[in-house]
Amino acid sequence: MTRIESDKRKIDKSSEVIFNFLSDFNNFETIMPDKVVDWKSDSDSCSFTISGLASLGMRITEKTPNSHIKIIDEGKVPFKFNFLINIEENGNDADVQLIFDADLNTMLKMVAVKPLRNFLNMLLDELQNISL
């Protein structure tokens, strides 16, 4: 598995507020970039297409209140993956890091790691800017 980690980012919201937002896939659409289309979701699963790349499905499988969310691939996906969201209370704020573990072949690894890391950091940027 290839591990791709976002920066660890301080978000000026409580860990509870961040956890509640990110533990419901219906909220994710608001932080997705324009290249994400055909978004479909319920609270625990979603599917979408990244324009020009691939269609993905995901399901939340574990939730530890205010600290951890584990998401796995679901349905027909181009590669197996786990997506982890780690949230740490830091006073009135929270530190958030996104970790994407993917079963990438050598060729895909060469072209996908940097865009995926950028994507994870972009999600954190959006999370910082959204009104929760």
For the stretch 15-49, pLDDT in tens is 999 999 999 999 999 999 888 899 999 999 999 98
% of the chain exceeding 70 in pLDDT: 99
- 107 and 22 Cβ atoms separated by less than 8 Å: no
d(CA 35, CA 51): 5
d(CA 58, CA 73): 5
The predicted-structure confidence for 67-89, as pLDDT tens digits, reads as follows 999 999 999 888 899 999 999 99
User: What CATH code would you report for 2-129?
Assistant: 3.30.530.20
d(CA 117, CA 35): 15
DSSP annotation of 7 reads: P
Burial class (CB in 10 A: 0-12, 13-18, 19+), 98: buried
Kindly report the pTM of this predicted structure.
0.90
Report domain extents, the chain.
2-129
Query: Tell me, what's the pLDDT at 35?
Result: 85
